[in-house]
Amino acid sequence: MRMIILWLGLLASGSLLALELPADWRLPTAKELVTEPPRDDSPLRYAQVESDFNGDGKLDRAYLLKSVHYPGEGLLVRLSSPAGYVWQLLDRVEWGEEYASAGLKMRIELAQVGSYKTACALGYWQCTSDEPDMLELMHAGIYQDRFDGAIAIWFWDHPRQQFKQVWLGVSDH
């Protein structure tokens, strides 16, 4: 069973959106969006970004959502496909019952087209053939600041037709 939510917040496009969420997820409450890390300087509270992530000319949206089954959160993308829009789970965190009332701990922003030095290039570990020292984004991606301070970019890997994650390092906040 799917849940339909009317997002009453003002989106970047300036319109209201009726959003059909996957059954296991819900939008964060206002209270869950006021906890650390600070979110006041983002109109979407660092919980939503939109762009054409897969390069098909259609707008896609990434959301930080809360689980309805366990204390935790996830990074999900509503991605355009030939069959319409599909949801993809990119990352999830299960906090444990002692954190049942915890707010969102991750933040997301739009990663612009351009070059990014990766964590392996910064010396966190040895670069492998699957992880370059420089990430060259040809389409916008999703910049993720995780609860543990790790920073990553999720981007659409065209040859594999799926999202790929590359670590950038550790956050300074």
Full residue range of the structural domain in which residue 102 is found = 3-9+18-170
Instruction: Judge whether 53 and 62 are in contact, CB under 8 Å.
Output: yes
Task: Domain count for the chain, please give it.
Answer: 1
Tens digit of each residue's pLDDT (9 = 90 or more) over 58-104? 999 999 999 999 888 999 999 999 989 999 999 998 888 887 777 78
CA–CA distance from 37 to each of 113, 127, 131, 148, 168 (Å)?
Answer: 25, 30, 28, 11, 19
* Residue 46 confidence (pLDDT): 72
Tens digit of each residue's pLDDT (9 = 90 or more) over 12-58? 333 345 688 999 999 888 888 876 555 555 545 678 999 999 999 99
